[in-house]
């Protein structure tokens, strides 16, 4: 059965995902932890070897420029949380979402999330799309799963553009 809103959300995701592939396929291992500015957010191993992101509950001024490693962690955190919310599961706390430790593993995680998101989108019905959700907004915002799906696609496009820009800046700095 065709569901026009789901079909539009799936089309939007497929477009964004095809653009993501251009940048994900071109990344090198050295791209992930390259710091493009003096003020950056990145991922670092703690004393136990667990890769944790830089974070502040209130964004610093000036805002740090994220590394590709940080951005891939960030995608894993928010996208995994969105999938959990769509499936009515409780997502892990941000502090419990870690970077996998290297570029290829980070890309594999992002690609796995893409596969999961396709499954979620393909399973949505029109009534599902009208279901209220409080992610990533406050519970009283009155938004639905359709809003969240549109936000996921937009947030992914933004993060992919950031990754692509950082990748191109690094390549240009080495030329």
Q: What is the pLDDT of residues 48-105, one digit of tens each?
A: 999 999 999 999 999 999 999 999 999 999 999 999 999 999 999 999 999 999 999 9
Q: How confident is the model over 44-50, as a mean pLDDT?
A: 97
What's the rounded Cα separation, in Å, for the pair 14 and 9? Answer: 9
Does residue 1 register a pLDDT over 70? no
Does residue 3 register a pLDDT over 90? no
pLDDT of residue 175: 85
Count of H-run helices and E-run strands, the chain: 5, 4
pLDDT in tens, 91-141: 999 999 999 999 999 999 999 999 999 999 999 999 999 999 989 998 899
Q: Of 168, 86, 75, 81, nearest to 131 (Cα)?
A: 86
Contact at 8 Å (CB) between 18 and 12? no
pLDDT of residue 2: 72
Domain range summary for the chain, segments of one domain joined by + = 4-38+64-174
Q: Mean pLDDT of all residues in the chain?
A: 96
Q: How confident is the model over 5-31, as a mean pLDDT?
A: 96
Task: Give percent of the chain with pLDDT exceeding 90.
Answer: 94
What's the rounded Cα separation, in Å, for the pair 153 and 137? Answer: 16
What's the rounded Cα separation, in Å, for the pair 4 and 169? Answer: 39
Q: Hey, what CATH topology would domain 4-38+64-174 get? A: 1.20.120
């Amino acid at each position: 059965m065709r569901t026009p809103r789901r079909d539009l959300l799936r089309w939007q995701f497929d477009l964004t995902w095809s653009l993501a592939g251009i940048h994900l396929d071109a990344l090198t291992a050295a791209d992930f932890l390259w710091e493009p500015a003096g003020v950056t957010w990145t991922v670092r191993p703690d004393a136990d070897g667990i890769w944790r992101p830089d974070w502040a509950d209130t964004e610093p001024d000036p805002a740090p420029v994220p590394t590709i490693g940080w951005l891939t962690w960030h995608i894993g955190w928010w996208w995994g949380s969105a999938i959990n919310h769509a499936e009515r599961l409780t997502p892990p706390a941000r502090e419990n979402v870690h970077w996998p430790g290297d570029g290829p593993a980070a890309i594999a995680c992002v690609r796995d999330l893409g596969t999961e998101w396709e499954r979620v989108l393909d399973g949505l019905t029109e009534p599902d799309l009208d279901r209220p959700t409080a992610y990533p907004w406050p519970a009283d915002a009155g938004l639905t799963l359709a809003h969240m799906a549109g936000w996921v696609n937009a947030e992914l496009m933004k993060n992919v553009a950031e990754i692509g820009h950082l990748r191109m800046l690094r390549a240009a700095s080495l030329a």
